Amino acid sequence: MKKNEVPALLPVTEGIYLRPVTLADAAALFHLIDTQRDYLRQWLPFVDASQEEADTRSFLKYVTDKANTSDKVFVILYRGEVAGLISLKEIDYLNRKLEIGYYLSEALQGKGIMRQSCQALVKCAFEDLHMNRIQIKVGVGNTRSSNIPQKLGFLLEGVQRQSEYLNGAFHDLEVYSLLRQEWQARQEP
């Protein structure tokens, strides 16, 4: 594997894999969004912009284009089915930092799928992409989502006030970060 590359299939745990997204995933991802709009809309501003499969396909065209070097997007496969999406966003190779973003089907919440998927991407970001800093932003009040960086050893840096426009209003985001040295210290026995 070349420097700054991620594996074609990233095993997470038995039954959970991360695979780079392709255009062929448009139907499954749109179906997930379309059938769970009320649930996903609570925290994700893109839901209302995804009105048809073509919208999802446009997003996938952008993130899979070879010219896009700032995002690496993966489908979360749970028992062979598309369960959600997770991404390395705003990758800054010069400053060796990035952000992780994610969403998961409501029916699969509470099984540790997203925490384990994030854990696998954190390892990949530090080991394969040689990053120094990873951050995760979470809507204030989204405790299920904020539990993930907390359990993975991320530190709450603060709150970005009115940082995201969602459902007709501005919302605050908690910013969590993990540094390479902190992650390495947690890996040692």
* Superfamily designation of domain 10-187: Gcn5-related N-acetyltransferase (GNAT) (3.40.630.30)
pLDDT for position 7: 61
Assess whether pLDDT exceeds 90 at residue 178.
Answer: yes
Mean pLDDT of 20-35: 94
Q: Which of 7-16, 90-99, 125-134, 168-177 has the weakest average pLDDT?
A: 7-16
Instruction: Give the residue from 36, 69, 45, 176 showing the smallest Cα distance to 118.
Output: 176
Mean pLDDT of 88-100: 97
**What are the residue ranges spanned by the domains of the chain?**
10-187
Could you give the 3-state DSSP secondary structure of residue 186? helix
The Cα–Cα gap between 69 and 132 comes to: 17
Mean pLDDT over each residue of the chain, to the nearest integer: 92
Q: Residue 49: which pLDDT band, with cuts at 50, 70 and 90? A: confident
The Cα–Cα gap between 133 and 97 comes to: 5
List, in order, residues 6 or more apart from 25 with CB less than 8 Å away: 60, 75, 82
